Amino acid sequence: MDRTRDIRREYAYAKLSKADLAEQPLDQFESWLDHALADAVPDATAMALATADGHGKPSVRIVLLKDFDADGFVWFSDQRSEKGLALAANPHAELLFYWGELDRQVRIRGPVIRVAESAADEYFYSRPRASQWAAAASEQSQPIASRAALEARYAALAQGDDQPLNRPQSWGGFCLQPLAYEFWQGREGRLHDRLRFQRASLQDNQWAIDRLQP
């Protein structure tokens, strides 16, 4: 306890008001992401993905954003993974982007759907061969006897470097369709700025904006 309770710093990078916000939350997100990329924030497209299974048991992990537009935020994974099974049972999730160098974070919440097989194919075959072999060699989240056993699977696939590799049918894309965004800007004295966009349904183009207490 003594090692952590007095660790703190002030947040003084910027402020956020309603007047600063874009009219659409997607535009606001894109502006902040562009800022993070321009400032070379490490792993700016990394996002925490929080899910809960059919029994309400939560889990969270880091995944990488691969696409986003008005339809939602896309990442790719194995359907047999812990997150894949959780989303099959309870297709709702939340994303969290944290850009510490800018004292900013963005939360995005909504239902999750699978992306089209054609989109999964397009992205899979755009990946480096080593990444394709890794996806095909791994039954993600399942136990394995040893590291050597995993490397043997990988090596067997790599030996066929001149042969086309089919995308595993268990590997594909997920898309979170936003119902709510929260933009958080750290401020001095812990009086942080938190502004939330919400809409009633995916068909609703009107977003209500609220300032939340820190």
Q: List, for residues 120-159, the tens digit of each pLDDT value.
A: 999 999 999 999 999 999 999 999 999 999 999 999 988 8
Cα(33)–Cα(180) distance, rounded to whole angstroms? 17
- Taking residue 208's Cβ as centre, other Cβ atoms within 10 Å add up to 11
Residue-averaged pLDDT of the chain:
95
Alpha-carbon distances, residue 8 vs 5, 156, 186 (angstroms):
8, 49, 12
CB-CB contact of 28 with 184 (8 Å): no
- Catalogue all structural domains in the chain, each as residue range(s) with its CATH number: 18-124+170-212 (2.30.110.10)
User: Cα 80 to chain center, whole Å?
Assistant: 18
Tokens in use for 116? Answer: 């089209």
One of 9, 104, 107, 190 is an active-site residue; which one?
190
- Supply the pTM of this predicted model: 0.93
Cα(201)–Cα(33) distance, rounded to whole angstroms? 25
Task: Kindly tell me the number of DSSP H helices and DSSP E strands found in the chain.
Answer: 5, 10
Q: How confident is the model at residue 199 (pLDDT cuts 50, 70, 90)?
A: very high
Q: β-pairing, 193-198 with 208-212? A: antiparallel
- Is 190 tagged catalytic? yes
